[in-house]
Amino acid sequence: MTPTAPVTRFAPSPTGYLHVGGARTALFNWLFARGRGGKFLLRIEDTDRARSTPEATEAILKGLRWLGLDWDGEPVSQFERRDRHAEVARQMLENGTAYRCFSTTDEIAAWREANPRQPFLSPWRDATDLPDAPHAIRLKAPRDGETVIDDQVQGQVRVANDQLDDMVLLRSDGTPTYMLAVVVDDHDMGVTHVIRGDDHLTNTARQIQIYDAMGWDRPTYAHIPLIHGEDGKKLSKRHGAVGLHEFAALGYPAAAMRNYLARLGWSHGDDELFDDAQARDWFGLEGIGRAPARLDFKKLEHVSGHHLGAMSDAAVLDELDGFLAETGADPLTATHRQRIAAAMPALKEKARTLPGLLDQARFALIERPVAVEEKASKSLDTVSRGMLKSLTAAVQNASWSRDDLEAAAKAVAEENGVGLGKIAGPLRAALAGTSATPSVFDMMTALGREETLARLQDQTDLAG
């Protein structure tokens, strides 16, 4: 890493699953760092001990791994750094940028009631006669002028200092506040760029004051707009999937999710479909817009279909293995894998998601005797079964290439004075038991000679 390379971080709170908005924030940080030879760090903000659990932390790590976002070094626990946070608060006391505040909770509440919509003004800010009693440590924030945020997305944001109170850095029980911990951790981790949701923008002015009080260099800030649902409202459960694990369970490949999430709030000209290398090369903070992005499942399916089609057959099989394991389904047998691999070009052509691909591959997964759905069974009458019997004889010694199989089927159709469609319908029912399948000739080549002839024989036996 060169000295000028950026250091970014993703700092989730482990209080549940990895939200799709958090996943996009992680992706933006990852792209920015990886595209510039920098570092992407992970910090778990687990100071809320009542809500933070090892299981929730593992869910976040699992989500990042599934999305394909690797991080540098070991994840940092914010809770484990609490002594360092307290050390900085005491250091600020010594340099005069913080003070001891002995105001009680009741006193602060009474002050706020008497002075609504005004920041709390502690009577202890400039006091010299201090009691020996429990106290908090507060930032001695500037009272005049403005705190200016030069944000790479939102532009220059100005906050009047008289609208900010002297925030608590260290509580009376000795525990550090989130605001202090974030700044100390970002500084100590060498973070150069803080890329996060714009719901954190109100915190930034306060955090900048801590940087200034300590004489530390400020990081570059970029506050990205949140993700909304298709109706333009804040994304919630009513819009469908909101957790990254839910998108994985719906069968969207990780590569498609990276592509789609990158385009939620960021653009590179009119490019909609791209791979990881292009995303790393193109991504920049200047391409992030200020308006909230809208989650569009139809567009996601389009992106997903593109990536499934672009993947190697082996990569799609790996994705299927992961999807089946994630959803608790039975793994593919060696025979199933062989059949699906043989039909993969046809399967990838129409599939938009992994479940969609599995639906198309149903013919390769079922066992004899094939159960025929009611709609498909209507094409299996005495005449059609007779044609299947003729087709069985015609392909017994065929080379089993797609072209030869199609030629044999056309010849049987001509002998019976019908079009190819009249034999394709019953052939589809015999091989797959349904009317919605890939091409019958793709199915025959994928199933192989022995299995195809056996399935046809099952139906022709019913003709008597």
pLDDT range class, residue 168, cuts 50, 70, 90: very high
Is 237 assigned a ligand-binding role in the annotation?
yes
- Assess if residue 62 is contained within a domain: yes
- Is the pLDDT at 406 greater than 60? The verdict is yes
Domain that holds residue 389: 374-463
Residue 245's alpha-carbon distances to 69, 314, 318, 325, 455, in angstroms, are 15, 23, 18, 13, 39
Give the neighbor-by-neighbor strand order of the sheet with 136-139: 98-101, 136-139, 168-170
Question: Taking a C-beta distance cutoff of 8 angstroms, is the pair 23, 10 a contact?
Answer: no
pLDDT range class, residue 230, cuts 50, 70, 90: confident
More confident residue, 38 or 463: 38
pLDDT for the residue 48:
83
Q: How many domains does the chain have?
A: 4
Please report how many Cα atoms fall inside a 13 Å half-sphere around the Cα of residue 65, on the Cβ side: 8
Question: Percent of the chain scored above 70 by pLDDT?
Answer: 98
What is the C-alpha to C-alpha distance for residues 331 and 336, in angstroms, rounded to an integer? 9
Do 96 and 164 lie in a common domain?
yes
Q: Average pLDDT in the 378-400 region?
A: 91
Q: Which among 386, 370, 364, 371 is positioned nearest to 444, based on CA atoms?
A: 364
Mean pLDDT across the chain: 94
pLDDT range class, residue 234, cuts 50, 70, 90: confident
What is the C-alpha to C-alpha distance for residues 264 and 161, in angstroms, rounded to an integer? 34
Q: Average pLDDT in the 441-447 region?
A: 96
pLDDT per residue as tens digits for the range 264-308: 999 999 999 999 999 999 999 999 999 999 999 999 999 999 999
Do 47 and 73 lie in a common domain?
yes
pLDDT range class, residue 212, cuts 50, 70, 90: very high
Q: What is the pTM of this model?
A: 0.92
Q: Which of 321, 338, 365 is the last residue of a domain?
A: 365
DSSP state of 371: P
Residues 6+ apart with CB under 8 A from 13: 44, 45, 46, 48, 51, 52
pLDDT for the residue 1:
47
Do 73 and 134 lie in a common domain?
no
pLDDT range class, residue 237, cuts 50, 70, 90: low
DSSP state of 419: -
Do 215 and 241 lie in a common domain?
no
pLDDT for the residue 82:
97
DSSP state of 378: T
Q: Give catalytic residue positions.
A: 237
Q: Which among 423, 424, 426, 433 is positioned nearest to 368, based on CA atoms?
A: 433
Do 94 and 195 lie in a common domain?
yes
Do 85 and 206 lie in a common domain?
yes
pLDDT for the residue 3:
57
- Assess if residue 305 is contained within a domain: no
Do 348 and 446 lie in a common domain?
no
What is the C-alpha to C-alpha distance for residues 441 and 446, in angstroms, rounded to an integer? 8
pLDDT range class, residue 464, cuts 50, 70, 90: low
Please report how many Cα atoms fall inside a 13 Å half-sphere around the Cα of residue 165, on the Cβ side: 17
Do 102 and 190 lie in a common domain?
yes
DSSP state of 35: T
Do 97 and 191 lie in a common domain?
yes
pLDDT for the residue 2:
47
Do 101 and 133 lie in a common domain?
yes
Lowest mean pLDDT among 48-52, 163-167, 414-418: 48-52
pLDDT range class, residue 366, cuts 50, 70, 90: very high
Q: Average pLDDT in the 55-71 region?
A: 94
DSSP state of 287: G
In SS3 terms, 210-259 reads as: HHHHHCCCCCEEEEECCEECCCCCECCHHHCCCEHHHHHHCCCCHHHHHH
